[in-house]
Amino acid sequence: MYEVLVADSISNEGLAPLLEASNVNLTRKKVTEVEDLLHTYDALLVRSATTVTEDLLDKMKNLKIVARAGVGVDNIDIEASTKRGVVVINAPNGNTISTAEHTFAMMASLVRHIPQGNISVKSREWNRSAFVGTELNRKHLGIVGFGRIGSELAKRAKAFNMTVHVYDPFLTTSRAEKLGVDLLSLDDLLAVADIITVHTPLTKDTKGLLNRETLAKTKKGVYLLNCARGGIIDEEALAYYLEIGHVQGAAIDVFEVEPPTDNPLLNFDQVITTPHLGASTKEAQLNVAEDVAYDVLRFLEGNPVSSSINLPTLSKDVFEKIQPFTSLTKQLGAVLSQCMKEPVQDISVTYAGTVADLETTYITRSLLSGFLTHRIDRSVNEVNASMIAKERGITFGEKISDNTQGYANIIEVVVKGESRTFSITGTYIKDYGPRVINIDSFDIDFYPEGHLLYIRHTDQPGVIGNVGKALGDLDINIATMQVGRKQKGGEAIMMLTFDRLIEDATIESLKQASEIVTIQRIEL
Ligand SMILES: NC(=O)C1=CN([C@@H]2O[C@H](COP(=O)(O)OP(=O)(O)OC[C@H]3O[C@@H](n4cnc5c(N)ncnc54)[C@H](O)[C@@H]3O)[C@@H](O)[C@H]2O)C=CC1
Ligand SMILES: O=C(O)CCC(=O)C(=O)O
């Protein structure tokens, strides 16, 4: 049974996939209400009220996935989640339209003083001259951050005959042309726009993007909107430019600290606000809840997620295709890690044949996770494997080759240690399964699973028989045995598989034979 904690207000109807799943036990409680049970949850679902800190992650020892029912993940410590192998997902599409519509509504309200007019009439005033507005028609709108919401807003603005200028360092000129917008530098956008609205995520680059210095470059009388994240427009700077009359008005849905209390912006009549309502529609809340509910269930049941922040996103089809190879590389990594008993500096993997056309980054992550699992005592998976490898100073890389050695696919891994190099090659044979076909330059053929002994010895008559007899005398049944050598009378290897773990004492007694060079136990 999977334990799922829904810590924020998320649409019940949207959570139906999880509520109806027979293998899920769903709890709707705030984190503070279940302090004693935090270590039991497999999944955590949040909106923006819960901040997923490193401290919370430490308490949630069993946590495998954090889902944000919405776009912005700035309330989740992604680095700390990744470090712990916790997948972070979001629902990036479900609230785009609602947020674009809300921004448009805020823009129209701002330039026509609708909130102020409403308050005035309800105060029994009739002061029409105080609320003379401005048309949107033929005005220049500057959109900073031209992703999903920014581009939906642009469509609506164009329908109102506005000229749309955008600033987005990640947007290509051809895409801007295709979407019919004018791509500018930030400075040029600031200089030309009558109304500026921000739609970037909150990152270290966008925090305070509009500040005292950049806002000074705007037109006198400019209007500003922030329906993305508090802090993208620096609040102190905005208050300053409102105070001196340079900024004519602002519409703010999001604040640096929510709810805002002593925020200077709340003191201005020309600032209109909403309490982070961009995504607050029935439709958006149903969409995002459904999106994360399906994704969390899929993930818990071992399937790919559709929108992950710290894992490559794979379709079900691609996931199914790569699965045999991720299992194979996990095993190859585990064999390597146990055979190569020394610190490693570099892991290099070469893909050839059908596997080379797949999502090899993901397959390499599985390899690293198989390798590292046997070296460190914390949980390693595809989410944190590359980060842990980097932390430990292990470099890794991928190559594609066309040498399939007669197989449909080949994965060769070479590990460089301080004193030596070790290699392993595997393949996945349809309807037959994974095979290791070469180990440390010895051709061999074994199924990487279970309890194994890897024995290096001199190639001479009687060695195989002696090992078999010694094990037989100890009542140990050999399940399979594969042998390999490079040349007659030289070094040779045996790979034995067993139905149970082989004890240290047995290995020590086998090592007494003079022909045996090394024996390595491998547990898969
Ligand atoms: N008020 C609300 O209730 C809601 C707020 N949001 C906020 O809106 C933001 C945008 O959402 P989407 O459009 O869905 O995201 P998106 O990821 O589709 O678009 C973000 C755009 O910002 C651009 N960008 C990134 N760094 C930039 C920089 N330094 N300067 C200029 N542009 C930059 C990206 O290239 C991208 O095109 C979210 O990150 C979230 O914080 C989202 C939904 C609801
Ligand atoms: O959950 C909400 O209502 C806020 C939505 C939001 O800010 C987001 O999706 O980034």
pLDDT digits (tens, 9 = 90+) for 74-103: 999 999 999 999 999 999 999 999 999 999
Separation CA 92–CA 313 (nearest Å): 13
CATH number for the region 312-446 comes to 3.30.1330.90
Reported for 212-220, long-range contacts at CB under 8 A and 24+ positions apart, including other chains, are: 212/237, 212/240, 214/186, 214/187, 214/190, 215/190, 215/241, 215/246, 215/247, 217/187, 217/190, 217/191, 218/190, 218/191, 218/193, 218/246, 218/247, 219/191, 219/192, 219/193, 219/194, 220/245, 220/246
Read off the pLDDT of residues 131-172 as tens digits, 9 standing for 90 and up.
999 999 999 999 999 999 999 999 999 999 999 999 999 999
> What count of other Cβ atoms lies within 10 Å of the Cβ of residue 456?
16
In the structure, what pLDDT confidence band is assigned to residue 111 with cuts at 50, 70 and 90?
very high
Q: How close is the Cα of 238 to the center of ligand 2, in Å?
A: 23
What ligand is nearest to the CA atom of residue 93? Answer: 1
Assess whether the C-beta atom of 185 lies below 6 angstroms from ligand 1: no
Cβ–ligand 1 contact at 199 (below 6 Å): yes
| Whether pLDDT at 514 is above 90 | no
Protein residues whose CB sits closer than 6 Å to any atom of ligand 2: 47-48, 70-72, 95, 276, 278-280
- For ligand 2, the distance from its centroid to the CA atom of residue 288, given in whole angstroms, is 9
Question: Is 84 annotated in the active site?
Answer: no
The confidence score (pLDDT) of residue 199 equals: 98
Mean pLDDT of 38-54: 97
CA distance 322 to 331: 14
Of 47, 113, 199, 229, the catalytic one is 229
Pairing of β 65-68 and β 247-252: unpaired
Q: Give pLDDT tens digits for 382-406.
A: 999 999 999 899 999 999 999 999 9
List the chain domain ranges: 2-93+283-301, 95-273, 312-446, 450-523
Say how many Å lie between the CA of residue 147 and the centre of ligand 1: 6
Residue 277 has pLDDT above 90, yes or no: yes
What residues does 519 pair with on adjacent strands? 455
List the catalytic residue out of 68, 199, 276, 365: 276
Q: Is 307 in the pocket of ligand 1 (CB under 6 A)?
A: no
C-alpha 340 chain-centroid distance: 31
Instruction: Of 244-248, 267-271, 478-482, give the lowest mean pLDDT range.
Output: 478-482
Single-letter residue type at 244: I
* Whole-number pLDDT of residue 275: 97
**What's domain 450-523's superfamily in CATH?**
ACT domain (3.30.70.260)
Asked if residues 16 and 55 have their Cβ atoms less than 8 Å apart, the reply is no
What pLDDT score was predicted for residue 304? 85
Q: Which residues pair with 166 in a beta bridge?
A: 143, 183
CA 342 to ligand 2 center in whole angstroms: 48
pLDDT at 362 over 90: yes
- Indicate the fold that domain 95-273 takes in CATH: Rossmann fold (3.40.50)
User: Which ligand has the shortest distance to the CA of 198?
Assistant: 1
Whether the CB of 279 sits within 6 Å of ligand 1: yes
Confidence of residue 2 (pLDDT cuts 50, 70, 90): very high
Specify the residue with its C-alpha closest to ligand 1, atom 26: 200
Residue 515: pLDDT over 90: no
> What is the rounded CA–CA span in Å between residue 343 and residue 466?
33
- In terms of phi and psi (left: phi > 0; alpha: psi -120 to 50; beta: otherwise), the region of 275 is beta
Q: What pLDDT band is residue 486 in, cutting at 50, 70 and 90?
A: confident
Confidence bin at 488 (pLDDT 50/70/90)? confident
- As a whole number, mean pLDDT of residues 518-523 equals 94
Closest to 411 in 3D by CA, of 455, 461, 349: 349
> Which pLDDT belongs to residue 17?
97
Q: Using CA positions, which residue lies closest to atom 42 of ligand 1? A: 71
Determine the residue type at 359.
Answer: E
pLDDT value for 487: 83
Does residue 258 have an active-site annotation? Answer: yes
Closest residue CA from atom 7 of ligand 2:
72
Into which CATH architecture does domain 2-93+283-301 fall? 3-Layer(aba) Sandwich (3.40)
- Residue among 78, 101, 149 whose CB has most ligand 1 atoms within 8 A, to mutate: 149
User: Best substitution site from 88, 93, 99, 202 to test ligand 1's pocket, by max atoms within 8 Å of Cβ?
Assistant: 99
- CA dist 76 and 44 (Å) reads 11
Write the DSSP string, 25-49.
Answer: EEEE--GGGGGGGGGG-SEEEE-SS
Residue of 258, 398, 491, 515 marked active site: 258
> Tell me, what's the pLDDT at 313?
83
Do 2-93+283-301 and 95-273 come out as alike in CATH topology? yes
Which neighbouring-strand residues pair with 10?
none
* Interval 449-465 mean pLDDT: 93
Tell me the CA–centroid distance for residue 260 and ligand 2, in Å. 16
Q: What separation in Å is there between the alpha carbon of 69 and the centre of ligand 1?
A: 15
User: Which atom of ligand 2 lies closest to the CA of 47?
Assistant: 1
pLDDT band, residue 513 (cuts 50/70/90): confident
Ligand 2 geometric centre to CA of 103 (Å): 13
Tell me: pLDDT of 496 over 90.
Answer: yes
Give the distance (Å) from ligand 1 centre to CA of residue 44. 23
257 Cα–ligand 2 center, Å: 15
Is 418 a residue whose pLDDT tops 90? no
Distance (Å) from CA 194 to ligand 2 centroid: 27
Give the atom of ligand 2 at the shortest distance from the alpha carbon of 288: 9
Q: How confident is the model at residue 200 (pLDDT cuts 50, 70, 90)?
A: very high
75 lines ligand 1 (CB under 6 A): no
Our mutation pick for probing the ligand 2 site, out of 276, 286, 292, counting the most ligand atoms within 8 A of Cβ, is 276
**What pLDDT does 316 receive?**
84
pLDDT, tens digit (0-9, with 9 covering 90-100), for 282-330: 999 999 999 999 999 999 998 888 889 998 888 888 989 999 999 999 9
- Please state, for a pLDDT cut of 70, what percent of the chain lies above it: 100
Neighbours of 222 (CB within 10 A): 21
Alpha carbons 128 and 236: distance in angstroms, whole number: 31
| Count of other CB atoms within 10 angstroms of residue 445 | 12
Is a pLDDT exceeding 90 seen at residue 15?
yes
> What is the model's pLDDT at position 312?
84
Contacts of 208 (CB under 8 A, 6+ apart): 231, 232, 234, 237
Judge whether 448 and 332 are in contact, CB under 8 Å: yes
Residue 191 has pLDDT above 90, yes or no: yes
CB of residue 68 inside a 6 A radius of ligand 1: no
* Ligand 2 atom index nearest CA of 284: 3
Name the token pair of 439: 């180990």
If DSSP states are collapsed to H, E and C, what string results for 431-475?
A: CCEEEEEEECCEEEEECCCCEEEEEEEECCCCHHHHHHHHHHHCC
Mutation choice for ligand 2 from 71, 152, 281, 291, CB with most ligand atoms inside 8 A: 71
**Interval 230-235 mean pLDDT:** 98
Active site includes 435?
A: no
**Ligand with an atom nearest the CA of residue 202:** 1
Q: For ligand 1, is residue 255 a contact (CB within 6 Å)?
A: no
pLDDT at 124 over 90: yes
Chain segment 471-480, per-residue pLDDT in tens: 999 999 999 9
Strands of the sheet containing 222-226, edge to edge, are 182-183, 163-167, 140-144, 195-198, 222-226, 247-252, 271-273
